[in-house]
Structure 1
């Protein structure tokens, strides 16, 4: 039996009887198969066992089609291998963000793409009922340990493990640019209650200080990640509201090195180039006149929030 015949037979068996029940069963199996296919692609790429050309052929698509479909998702999943650096080096969020991102009347909040719980902790401490969804197992383990009062679940923006209309607010911190937005927008709308809120949040380094600008130049000398931190969202979401909060994150030289090491584009560098970059960052921290000899450093940030309402 060839693969086309096998696929048709499985599809017919799953959708047996047809109708809405058959459609639901078939959709569930398709989602599970797609997640497994992504896992296989990840295994092949991480082990350098196949090229994008070979993966494309195996999936019935071109090399360009395969890289467009999976390269970004695999880069997003790379955070798990640097979860310790992420936890130690990434900043949290200013307290003022909660009142801006989450409406006063909201009670149940979904932290989607929650990572190691940097924002989850603030949401729980604000007295909210928080579900935190994170696809990476390593990040999820640290999240559960760091914020035990949150309900931590495996899942993704494209497949949220919650019932329809079950949360008042969805908050996405540092993760929206990794989502397949064509799939994520209707899925987020599905789990939001009528009139619910979606808040997209990014911490952006404020490079107005000379040493921060030099650090940014070092980090981006090989590649620059362009992120739209003021995105427009399609229907069924309404007109966006924008907010900026300027603040400083107290850290250490080791914390800044961990912050750099946790960036996805740094994780993806060849080992020798990555080691050279981290050594150069360490040199900057030790010799720049604004930083030399300091055990504590105030890292300047701008937190940007885009808030939209459903409908």
Structure 2
């Protein structure tokens, strides 16, 4: 049958976490010419333990994933439990077959292709933010596997992204932020996995070293609030599907929001000092939203810092464009 023909995806969303990837998934899924698996983050290419917080598919043995007490396998069981519940509430043979294939078979390149068989005839893809952490060796392996792959990378101002992740995980664990000490908040905000996914300069350098500029679309979280319809049209054009824009007004809202709680001033100042040099270099190289982020750091870091001095003397901030 045609819908059983295995094929690799045409595009990947490679990050960043807490930067609008769920919004992207929802709006791409709504397009009739695009097909995305029902589980948003497949984690196939980040199975290696060298990536912080390894994939729930790190081991090829389903029994180990079912019974091991290690953290990745607890995540696997969480995904499996949600899949079972979904099939109980809204039974579907297609859902059941896809879930069984993803959860019970051993991962391999041939297996990965079968995850997109139900999307035959449409532009298929998946979104796993952790893919942004792939090293150049694995990016080259991915390019060899899928030479014509298209990539979408959403970036969010790194200080806000770090704080959003702190709030998100506190919400999931039902931990009031007021119960966390300043040092604990700092430890969480500076977690290695957050820093590595916010190092946009290094991420862009690695992916651009392997894939052509025409294969990588840079997107900014700011655009979701400021111009969501234009953003979605740009993404649809990049993927080569009919350009329709937003399906409905509800598609404008952000998804997976965390509770409102302002970041402590001292923590923001520390994070600004940490990310400012990178943002300044990206601002000088590309302008646009990077320059907008750099401007937002004023008041949280000394204006005498070299990044601000260089920015003030030679970079225009009148226009913010992607």
TM-score relative to the length of structure 1: 0.26
> Could you say which structure has the greater relative contact order, defined with CA pairs below 8 angstroms and 6 or more residues apart?
2
TM-score relative to the length of structure 2: 0.25
